[in-house]
Amino acid sequence: MGRQKVGDGIKLQIRPLCRENAAAVAALERKIFGTPWSEKTVEESIVRGESQERPGAFYAALGAFLKDELAGYLFAMAVAGEGELHRIGTVPAFRRKGVGDALMEALVSWISYCGGGSIWLEVRAGNKAAVSLYKKHGFLETGRRKNYYQNPTEDACIFVYH
């Protein structure tokens, strides 16, 4: 995936996550999500990204790193010409410094590499920063799922990128 420049001259590297990153990703999950993935789920998703065991389906487990420090991550899947963003997170200290932008650019590039054209995702309606990030990268809201999220209960906005 290579290096990207982030605000303040910080150099960011996007690369596949490995099992050794599972604890750091799970810790970040607990900080930023009301319903975080467990370390076991994170590790299984990383292993899925490493193995690519299902023909015709591709999995991404990507991390954004400053040297060896995790700044953010994403998990996504591509199958039958479509992509789906499963999870994305940024270390709070690195928000609004280009980490989310770099991860979204990596996602679009990865989906294209896998032969996908569109990318689907859902986000809490109240997550204004994420909604803004997705719109900035060309995603359009196509619908809502009422009371989809818990802790707290909130609608999900469905976005697509073509």
Nearest to 100 by CA among 139, 126, 68: 139
Spatial distance between the Cα atoms of 118 and 130, rounded to a whole number of angstroms: 18
Question: Is 122 annotated as catalytic?
Answer: yes
CB atoms within 10 A of CB 81: 11
Query: Exactly one of 43, 59, 73, 122 is catalytic; which is it?
Result: 122
Q: Apex CA 14: angle with CA 8 and CA 16, to 5°?
A: 155
Question: Is 134 annotated as catalytic?
Answer: yes
Spatial distance between the Cα atoms of 58 and 54, rounded to a whole number of angstroms: 7
Query: Exactly one of 134, 149, 154, 161 is catalytic; which is it?
Result: 134
Q: Which active-site residues does the annotation give?
A: 122, 134
